[in-house]
Structure 1
Amino acid sequence: MEIYSTEEQQVDAIKQFWKDYGTSIVIGAVVGLGGLYGWNYYSDVKIAKAEQASQAFQGLITQSADDAAMLAGVAEFTKNHDQQGYAALLDLIVAKTAVETKDYAKAEAALKKVIAAKPGAGLDMIANLRLARIQTEQGQIDTALATLELVTDKAFAAQREELKGDFLVRKGELDKAKAAYQSALDNGGVITSPALKIKLDNLNQA
């Protein structure tokens, strides 16, 4: 099922950010606390844990082409580390792997973990977009439309509205679909989805 496009590029960017700066962010926050409260021992422990999580995460990413090793590694990572940003990225990878094997239940469970964790950096928004697509693939279009309403970050407005248009076309609600596509265009959607204008033009000619 083709459900990854712009979101995949966004995940890759976030993934690279965490690989490059994740440890530094955690260390900086902890060192700040250490300087303020004198929690030197606590800081040392947290820094060590952040470094270990970063190394484990990077090791898992190199295994991403091996589905079995990846899934086993994610379970081990979740057990041993409590770094939300890394865990959310890994859950997105688990969901993608599950979709490729049509294990939609596993994909939904992984995406709902990301949404519930609210890791920030747009990851929960991406998870909602992907969850909506999976729900639609299973014929749950109304549920998918409700899921899209949870995508409230303006940075994802164009993607949300284009998906909404796609789903409404499936329902046969063409006037509402036109409005959704137009909203996507108004939010700059044609930049990341050149096919958007074609979708709207086709409906206008119908």
Structure 2
Amino acid sequence: MAKHLDLEEQEQLDQIKHFWAQYGNAITWALIAVLGSFAAWNGWNYWQTNQAIKAAALYDEVQSAAQAADVDRIKRALGDMQAGYAKTSYAGQSALLAARALHTAGQKDAAREALEWTVNNGTDPGYQAVARLRLASLALDAGDFDAAMGWVNTSLPPAFEPLAADRRGDVLKAQGKVEEATAQYRAAWQSMPDTTEYRRLIEVKLASLGVDVLTQSTGVTR
């Protein structure tokens, strides 16, 4: 009986050896690929988390420098963010924050460069849209109407289109193109929810052009 079992075990062992000889190499490489992918995924997650932590700390530095109105410190911190963490969302946030602080400090060229960096290198469409709107405002303030219009005559996320229409209206009004400006303001006003406070500002802009949007556009009075 023991001899019979030994023969069965030997036969099974031979089958295993034969199977491994035929498929063992493929199985080994498959396991290496799976384990390698798992290790790479864990490594990528760790790298991403580590990058986010460092970028968050640098964003705090930009914010602190902006609050202190320390121009040199703002530029240095923003430069470090752009150089090391350009692909994080903090980079776009930092550039927008720095641009505002730099503009307030009279550093208009530096503010424009920070916004342009966001448009060209940012990874968040929302931050890029905000940068475009602010660049349009800077160009309008400088009297460069073509540049101002260029920044908002592009595809933006749907949520920002009413603001883009409002900005186009500002440019057209500054050029004396009253009818075209009115059309843009109307489009912006109609696209915004009734509860949006910004809508009231557009009503004022339309009123300055002689348009009572509440009665002429909707037939509703308050």
The interval holding the TM-score normalised by the smaller chain is 0.7 to 0.9
Shifted more, 61-70 versus 162-171: the winner is 61-70
State the 4+ residue runs in structure 1 displaced beyond 4 angstroms: none
Residues of 2 paired with 1:80 and 1:195: CA distance? 40
Structure 1 spans left out of the alignment, 5+ residues: 1-33
Which structure has the larger Rg? 2
What's the TM-score, normalizing by structure 2?
0.68
The answer to which structure, 1 or 2, has the higher relative contact order (CA under 8 A, 6+ apart) is 1
The answer to whether 1:198 aligns with 2:198 is: no
Deviation at residue 196 of structure 1 after TM alignment: 0.8
Alignment of 1:137-148 (within 5 A): 137-148=141-152
Q: CA deviation at 1:101?
A: 2.6
Question: Residue 138 of structure 2 corresponds to which residue in structure 1?
Answer: 134
2:157 corresponds to 1:186: no
Q: 2: CA distance between counterparts of 1:205 and 1:186?
A: 14
> What is the identity percentage for the equivalent residue pairs of Structure 1 and Structure 2?
19
1:97 to 86, 90, 101: 101
> What's 1:5 paired with?
none
The answer to which of 111-120 and 56-65 deviates more is 56-65
**Aligned twin of 1:37:** 38
What SS class does the counterpart of residue 102 from structure 1 fall into? coil
1:35/1:64 Cα in 2 relative to 1: closer, same or farther (>3 Å)? farther
Q: Which consecutive residues of structure 2, in runs of 5 or more, have no partner in the other structure?
A: 1-34, 213-222
**Counterpart contact for 1:169–1:177, Cα < 8 Å:** yes
Shift of 1:93: 1.6
Cα distance, 1:120–1:65 mapped onto 2, change above 3 Å: same
Pairs aligned (count) = 173
Partner of 2:23: none
Is the contact between residue 129 and residue 148 of structure 1 (CA under 8 Å) also seen in structure 2? Answer: yes
Q: Which amino acid aligns with 2:38?
A: Y
What is the deviation of 1:170?
A: 0.7
Are the counterparts in 2 of residues 98 and 104 from structure 1 also a CA contact under 8 Å?
Answer: yes
- CA RMSD, Structure 1 to Structure 2 (Å): 2.5
Alignment-mate amino acid for residue 78 of structure 1: Q
Alpha-carbon separation, structure 1, partners of 2:147 and 2:176: 16
The answer to whether 1:161 aligns with 2:162 is no
- The amino acid across from 2:57 in the alignment is Q
Tell me by how many angstroms 1:80 deviates.
3.9
1:58 maps to a residue whose letter is D
